[in-house]
Amino acid sequence: MKKHVLLLLIPALTLFNACDKTPDKIISINPDELTSEDQVKIGEAFQLALESNTAAFKILDKADYPEANAYVEQLFLTMLNTAQVQRRQEFDWSVNIIHDDEVRTAFFLPGGHFYVYTGLLKYLNSESELLGVIGHELYYAHSDLLIERVRQEFGGVMLGDILLENPVAELPEYAAEVPLLGFDETKVIEADSFAVELICPFLYEPSGIKRILERAGEGEIKPLWLETRSAKFENRLQSLSAESSDCGLPGVANEENYLKLKLEYLP
């Protein structure tokens, strides 16, 4: 009988305590308190704003370019379906190619939406290099680093308005700025290490990012991706070399397959 009494009292006390609290007005959002569902909702709002801007963001139609989209999506799924990506079943993951050969970068929106420019795809030389970029970006996306960076840049009030479904007039402008957001050197090197960790169990060469850095250092073209993911050249190379040393080098680069993407699948 006592057990039945306790079971009845507990919800009554819970209800009393809940009624005793008056929620404060939301004026900002702490990213540590955002659930995966919150980030998905924020990401959907950014995605709609970004893809509505068809003049600046020309998304390759999956029906018109099925081979290109399938190729990038397959490599993306290779990195996503690993144990290290903790939110792989919680976010609304998607892959899109933006047609702009002059822009050489890749980025995520909150909630799992990945975008890569044709400019970067054509700058890269192998599957291992693209896998390095994808793995690097996944580090920001699956953690709270990306949503924290968005909050820092655009404000917690704006994120709160999205979650409360209040209109945000500046959202198209904010979405257009996301590809330009950068991360500090510590986070960049951590993201490099995460990428190597994802690639290492596969037969792929784990030094794709290292090859990108070396090629950029030798030539006149420095992709925007390296400008927004910036760290001291020597420190980054040293870290990448150390991380990949136990991965069974050299691994497979798949340069021939990748060349087909650039010459036959992309516009």
Does 10 have pLDDT greater than 70?
no
What is the pLDDT confidence band of residue 18, given thresholds at 50, 70 and 90?
A: very low
- Tell me what percent of the residues of the chain surpass a pLDDT of 90: 82
37-71 pLDDT, tens digit each: 999 999 999 999 999 999 999 999 999 999 999 99
Does 23 have pLDDT greater than 80?
no
82-108 pLDDT, tens digit each: 999 999 999 999 999 999 999 999 999
Q: What is the pLDDT of residue 151?
A: 96
Buried b (16+ CB within 10 A) or exposed e, 216-232: beeeeeebbbbebbebe
Asked whether the beta carbons of 213 and 229 are under 8 A apart, the reply is: no
Phi, psi (deg, nearest 5) at residue 126 = -160, 165
Q: Which of 21-25, 54-58, 249-253 has the lowest mean pLDDT?
A: 21-25
Does 22 have pLDDT greater than 50?
no
Mean pLDDT of 191-216: 95
CA 16 to the chain's CA centroid = 43
pTM: 0.88
The string of DSSP letters for 216-262 reads HHHSS---HHHHHS---HHHHHHHHHHHHTTS-SS-B--HHHHHHII
Residue of 28 and 118 predicted with greater confidence: 118
Q: Taking CA 199 as the corner, what is the angle to CA 106 and CA 209, rounded to the nearest 5 degrees?
A: 45
What is the pLDDT confidence band of residue 5, given thresholds at 50, 70 and 90?
A: very low
Phi, psi (deg, nearest 5) at residue 203 = -85, 0
Asked whether the beta carbons of 251 and 204 are under 8 A apart, the reply is: yes
Dihedral through CA 103, CA 104, CA 109, CA 113, nearest 10?
A: 110
Dihedral through CA 98, CA 99, CA 104, CA 107, nearest 10?
A: 0
Q: What is the pLDDT of residue 8?
A: 34
- For tokens 């497979």, what's the residue? 252
Distance, CA of 85 to CA of 260 (rounded, Å): 29
149-186 pLDDT, tens digit each: 999 999 999 999 999 999 999 999 999 999 999 999 99
